[in-house]
Amino acid sequence: MAKKNVTITLYMSELIYDVQNKTYLKGRSKTDADPALVAQMQANDDDENINQVLRSIGEAFGTLKNKLSEHIEESGTTGNNVMQANQNITVALKMPSNFNQAAIDVISSGMHRYIVNAATADWFNLTSPNDAKPHVDLANASMSDVLDGINKRVRPTRTEVTP
């Protein structure tokens, strides 16, 4: 049977924005914290920060690809660990012919949430380790959503038999 090709594009600008926004909101909510600690918790576009955010996004993407490797279609034989702020992420999936395409949006948003939460957890492991665990849990829940979406199938229909 023919496989279904599914392409998911994740926009780097949106991933970076969400990581920065989550760290900003978490830092801002710590009203009793030292201002220096709050500043360290917030990812921004300063060179040292954006490089770490991109590295964290790259690591999260690598883990995502590993978990979905059964369905990922890639022809390359080389890789690298460098992510660019202007580089969108495209994932080409080869799905079974009975894959339910209604799940594509769940898969796409779940991938986005997984990468953002895993990268945010990585950021907090560096800046405020006590704040990392909730994001690890959110990343794991997002991965579960992705896997559930990938495993959705269309119910078979019975064909009429003519004697």
Residues in the chain: 163
How far from the centroid of its chain's Cα atoms is residue 156's Cα?
A: 31
What pLDDT was estimated at residue 78? 64
49-107: per-residue pLDDT in tens? 889 999 999 999 999 999 999 999 777 666 666 788 888 999 999 999 999 999 999 99
Q: Which residue has the higher pLDDT, 90 or 30?
A: 90
pLDDT band, residue 117 (cuts 50/70/90): very high
pLDDT at 160 over 90: no
CB proximity list for 149: less than 8 A, separation 6 or greater = 103, 104, 106, 107, 110
Query: In the predicted model, what is the mean pLDDT of residues 121-132?
Result: 90
Both structure tokens of 115: 């990468």
Alpha helices in the chain (DSSP H): 12-29, 35-41, 47-67, 104-127, 133-150
What pLDDT was estimated at residue 27? 81
Predicted model pTM: 0.87
Bin 145: left if φ > 0, else alpha if -120 < ψ < 50, else beta: alpha
Q: How far is CA 90 from CA 25, 73, 123, in A?
A: 28, 11, 23
